Amino acid sequence: MDTSSSPIRHGHADGGPVNDACIETVEVIEIVEIVEIEIYGRDNRPPPPAKSYKVKIDHAHYVFHQRRVTGRELLVKAGKTPPEHYEIEKRVHGGKYIPVALDEHVDLGEPGIEVFETFPLDETEG
């Protein structure tokens, strides 16, 4: 599929000729079936738009069918229930860890996300 920009010509309502002032460029964006965000995160590149996003939580892979997910959804998918007893962090390009709150939304299409890691909360925490 050609993803390059291509001009689209709009004719006049009266059927008159089309001139260069009537040309607009439309970018065609290809949506892939599934994208593994860890691969793009290691290169600090945004993953392409996708129907599904494959993420690594601890050492296992999980698929989400939406681009934005909550910390709670990540924990539940990884079998960490009840989610209130766990903490989840995203590791981004460069090795930095960023905590994700239970109700915080994570954009799986943002550049730099490599993996997610979970940690059980102590009885005195959370």
Q: Is the pTM above the cut of 0.85?
A: no
What's the confidence (pLDDT) of residue 3? 46
| Element (DSSP H or E) covering residue 71 | helix 71-77
53 contacts 68 by C-beta, under 8 angstroms? no
Task: Specify the pairing of strand 23-26 against strand 32-36.
Answer: unpaired
Residue showing tokens 């129907």: 51
For residue 74, what pLDDT is reported? 98
Find the length of the chain: 126
Nearest CA-CA partner of 41 in 102, 101, 106, 103? 106
Reported as a single tens digit per residue, the pLDDT across 54-110 is 999 999 999 999 999 999 999 999 999 999 999 999 999 999 999 999 999 999 999
114: which residues sit within 8 A by CB, 6+ positions away?
Answer: 37, 38, 41, 42, 56, 90, 91, 92, 93
Distance between CA atoms of residues 57 and 5, nearest Å: 37
